[in-house]
Structure formats: C-alpha cells, structure tokens
Amino acid sequence: MKELSIKEKELLVKDLSSRLPYGVICKCYHEEFNADDEEPFALVYDEKLSMKNGSFIGSFNYKIDKIRPYLRPMSSITEKEQKEYRNINCCLIKGCEAWNEVDWLNAHHFDYRGLIEKGLALEAPKGMYK
C-alpha cells in the first residue's frame, strides 16, 4: 500500500471525520497481517476516540495511510434516494431547516469527493450499508 501525501492524508481525515456519526465501514491494512484476511469494521464516533499524530486511537491504532473507507459511488444512487436528495436541495434553496447536502451524502455513504478514483476509498459492495 502506497504512502499517502500530506494532501491525501488531510483529505482522508476530513472525509472520515465527517462520516463518523454515520458508522462508515472501513478496511484497515496492517503489515503483520494479510489485508484480505482482515474483517472490515465500522468507524463511529466515540468519546474515547481521538486524533493524535495522524492515527485514530480507540480500540485500535492504525495510521491514516492504512485506513480505507467503503463508499458508494454516486452512480449507485437509487430513484428513491434521488427523490430524497432533490427534496433536500429544494429545501436548501427555500431556506428551511433540514439536513444539509453533505450530511445527507455522508449518511448514505456516497463518495462525493472522488476518493475511490484517487485510491483513498474502496467501492462498497452492493447492500453493505442496508
């Protein structure tokens, strides 16, 4: 696994941080283990979780270079989700109180930043986030 540039690390930390409330599922790679043998885990906000020196600290300790979230490509949006997304955008235009667009995209685990294409995320298998 390649080492990430500072900009890639910053982008991944920013993206993961905004997804913590929604239980994003991640794969972590560790030099001592075969990455294919490791089970994905949900990364969620926890008061015991903190950021220090580029590593997520909690019940695990992995450098950000070794974490890859599973995200849904924007092309996987369903008709029902498209309708819900349009309603959010319409509400934003009218100025009513509702979720903002980024929160909705994060809650539905969409890759709106192009992380899959950049090699910073993995494409979520169909049905992973049901």
For the segment 32-57, what is each residue's pLDDT rounded down to a tens digit?
555 455 555 555 444 444 444 444 44
pTM: 0.75
Expressed as residue numbers, the domain containing 45 is 6-73+111-123
Q: Is 86 part of any domain?
A: no
Q: Is 90 part of any domain?
A: no
Q: Is 116 part of any domain?
A: yes
For residue range 56-103, what is the model confidence (pLDDT) as tens digits? 444 455 678 888 999 999 999 999 999 888 887 666 555 565 567 888
DSSP 9-22: HHHHHHHHHHHGGG
Q: Is 115 part of any domain?
A: yes
How many domains are there within the chain? 1
Q: How far, CA to CA in Å, does 53 sit from each of 9, 13, 15, 89?
A: 12, 12, 17, 37
Burial class (CB in 10 A: 0-12, 13-18, 19+), 59: exposed
Which residue did the predictor score with more confidence, 41 or 120? Answer: 120
Q: Which two tokens stand for residue 121?
A: 């995320």
Q: Which two tokens stand for residue 127?
A: 């049905």
